[in-house]
Amino acid sequence: MYHDHVRRDKLTNKTWFLGLLALAFTAAGVVGNVGDSGLAARLAPATAALPGGEGLAGVWVALAVALALTLNVHLLGRLGRGLQIAAVWLEVFSLFLVFFYSFDLSYSFILGKLPFLITQGVVTTLYISAISIAIAFVLAMVGAIARLSDNGFAIAIASFYTSFFRGVPLLIQIYLIYLGIPQLGYVIGAIPAGVAALSLCYGAYMTEIFRAGIMSIPKGQWEAARALGFRPMHTLVLIILPQSLRLIIPPTGNQFIAMLKDSSLVSVIGVWELMFLARTQGRDEFRHLEMLITAAALYWLISIVLEQVQSRLERRLARGHRH
């Protein structure tokens, strides 16, 4: 976004804004019955001293909470940007933790199951996603070149492929491949079926990404290469693709993160990946919430790592275009 150079006073320093915020927080607190929470009990000695007695105690608690929150917003507003981002992140994250803490989870149970969730679940999830994205990459490359070619057969087949596999839910594709292919005489295993479905589906999505990447290279590049005597295939491989990869890689990283999470759908055909284990491990002791939260944390952690890798890659590929 554009950084405006005209300085204005910050919103979080203005009295009217802070007043409005405090009012909104108080109203939310009263409607949300903060007066009945554990916090209210702790504040009871203070609220008893205020006028209004029992009836207004809830309002006083809401007001106290609202003032604290407003002060928090005001103080955060005064921080420098780097510190501000870190502080807000930390606050949202601790809210999250408080939310999970309120579930009264058994941490010893989670710790006991964690090694198996990682050695069996995370490993399976990762290797299924990695193989699938590699195949999808090849499919997408072929699909994009076919769609951009002059060949009627190639265009028809490639556009049929992208249309079908983008238009049908991944879960149905998994069932179709797992249950349908054996009807043709070849009994496909659960993991190959899952990998096939994931790569076909994501290959279709990535075909469009690759196509856009190739098309974004100016026509002049093709014409210049042709004028220098390059044949079309050489032009594509040596001149166009290296330039378009800079545009293709970042969204591909995005697709990989998305696939990592969609690989959980493969659990329906009995592959023991992270989601499958999350659903089954806690079942015996009725501790499925623990397992679901652990799986969520694991998926999130892997995604964070991949996001970092992606941003590194992005910076590296963009180095020729820095201003």
Partner 1 sequence: MTLFKSLCLAAAAGALALSAGAAEAGATLDRITQKKEMVVATAANWPPQSFMNKDNQLDGFDVDVAKEIAKRLGATARFITPEWGIITAGNWNGRWDISVGSMTPTTGRTRVLDFPAIYYYTPYVFAVHKASKLDSRAALNGKTIGVEGGTTSEDYINGKLTIDAVGVPAFTADVKPGDIKTYGDSVGPLDDLRLGDGVRLDAIVSALPTIDAAVKRGYPIRAINDKPAYHEPLAIAIDKGDAELNARLAEIVAALKAEGTLKSLSEKWYGIDYTVAK
The CB-of-169 to partner 1 minimum distance in angstroms stands at: 16
Q: Does 116 bind partner 1 (CB under 8 A)?
A: yes
Binding region for partner 1 (CB under 8 A) out of 82-90, 93-101, 241-249, 270-278: 270-278
Q: Does 270 bind partner 1 (CB under 8 A)?
A: yes
Closest to partner 1 by CB, 283 or 312: 283
Among 280, 301, 307, 316, binds partner 1 (CB under 8 A): 280
In terms of residues, how long is the chain? 323
Q: Does 33 bind partner 1 (CB under 8 A)?
A: no
Site for partner 1 in 163-192 (CB under 8 A): 178-179, 182-185, 187, 190
User: How far apart are alpha carbons 189 and 191 in whole angstroms?
Assistant: 6
Structure tokens at 55: 């009836």
Closest to 40 measured CA to CA, from 63, 22, 18, 23: 63
Closest to 204 measured CA to CA, from 171, 156, 164, 244: 164
Q: Does 120 bind partner 1 (CB under 8 A)?
A: yes
- Residue in the structure block whose two tokens are 């697709």: 255
Listed in sequence order, the residues at least 6 apart from 281 whose beta carbon sits closer than 8 Å to its beta carbon are 113, 116, 117, 291
Q: Does 272 bind partner 1 (CB under 8 A)?
A: yes
Binding region for partner 1 (CB under 8 A) out of 100-108, 215-223, 285-293, 298-306: 285-293
Structure tokens at 269: 């055909």
Question: Quick check: 113 and 294 in contact, CB under 8 A?
Answer: yes
Binding region for partner 1 (CB under 8 A) out of 96-104, 203-211, 271-279, 295-303: 271-279
Binding region for partner 1 (CB under 8 A) out of 1-9, 44-52, 246-254, 267-275: 267-275
Structure tokens at 154: 């190639």
How many residues of this chain bind partner 1 (CB under 8 A)? 25
Instruction: Please report, as a single letter, which amino acid is at residue 249.
Output: I
Q: Does 74 bind partner 1 (CB under 8 A)?
A: no
Q: Does 14 bind partner 1 (CB under 8 A)?
A: no
The CB-of-152 to partner 1 minimum distance in angstroms stands at: 21
Q: Does 100 bind partner 1 (CB under 8 A)?
A: no
Instruction: Please report, as a single letter, which amino acid is at residue 157.
Output: I
> H-helix or E-strand containing 288?
helix 288-317
User: How far apart are alpha carbons 112 and 107 in whole angstroms?
Assistant: 9
Closest to partner 1 by CB, 261 or 288: 288
User: How far apart are alpha carbons 136 and 259 in whole angstroms?
Assistant: 11
Q: Does 232 bind partner 1 (CB under 8 A)?
A: no
Q: Does 159 bind partner 1 (CB under 8 A)?
A: no
The CB-of-146 to partner 1 minimum distance in angstroms stands at: 24
Question: Quick check: 182 and 115 in contact, CB under 8 A?
Answer: no
Closest to partner 1 by CB, 43 or 128: 128
User: How far apart are alpha carbons 189 and 110 in whole angstroms?
Assistant: 31
Among 10, 42, 283, 312, binds partner 1 (CB under 8 A): 283
Question: Quick check: 274 and 295 in contact, CB under 8 A?
Answer: yes
Cα angle vertex 45, ends 42, 49, to 5°? 145
Q: Does 257 bind partner 1 (CB under 8 A)?
A: no
Residues that bind partner 1 (CB under 8 A): 112, 116, 120, 178-179, 182-185, 187, 190, 268-270, 272, 276-277, 279-281, 283-286, 288
